[in-house]
Structure 1
Amino acid sequence: MGILKAKKNKKFSYTPRYFDDKGEGNPFEIKHKFDEFRTTVGENKGFKAKLNHALSELKDNRDKEANRRILVIAAVLVLIFLFIIDFDLSIFFSK
């Protein structure tokens, strides 16, 4: 029955009136400008394959400074959240 499968879009044989055949690509194709550099976009693959591709893309990332910046921002946001909910940080420090 296909409950877990993604639904395919219908395709029609419509060509726009003012579309130039010599133009760049398909006018109906919606494409992000970084899609050709990513390995995670494309066909609908399984969750495991998407996760493996995302992890390999993260490992191939050459910009280590950006990764550190993201980790620092995440740590600051976690500390702000803990401060808002009145979490006692003294349990992490021994006397």
Structure 2
Amino acid sequence: MGLISKRKNKKYSYKPRHYEFDGDGSPFAMGHKFDQFRTTVGENKGLKGKFKTAMADLKKSDKNANLRLLVIIALLVLVFLFIIGFDLSIFYA
């Protein structure tokens, strides 16, 4: 123990005995198991890049799923309009 120099921390190399990886990468790396399949995870793009990626995913996705989503949204809007008492007679002459 020196009075002038600061005490140095003890160092040791810790290698875990059991972990999921078979020697590939760090066992302490945190990542979701589906990150490799996502297009939105990765480098931080700007707003334009995020929008382009979202549009590409939308075009690539299943057409039946898109139609189903539109039908669900339309039904929810109609239920909301019915609950608030919206009068549809303003659209008729």
1-structure distance, mates of 2:84, 2:14 = 57
Compute the TM-score of the two structures, normalised by the length of structure 2: 0.67
Structure 2: gaps (5+ residues): 1-12
1-structure distance, mates of 2:25, 2:83 = 51
Structure possessing the higher radius of gyration over alpha carbons: 2
Superposition pairs for residues 48-87 of structure 1, below 5 Å?
Answer: 48-61=48-61, 63-87=62-86
Structure 1: gaps (5+ residues): 1-13
Equivalenced residues, count: 79
How much identity, in percent, do the aligned residues show?
53
Compute the TM-score of the two structures, normalised by the length of structure 1: 0.66
RMSD: 2.5
1:22 Cα deviation from its structure 2 partner: 2.4
Higher relative contact order (CA 8 A, sep 6+): 1
Write out the 4+ residue segments of structure 1 that deviate beyond 6 Å after TM superposition: none
Superposition pairs for residues 33-44 of structure 1, below 5 Å?
Answer: 33=34, 35-44=35-44
Deviates more, 1:20-29 or 1:36-45: 20-29
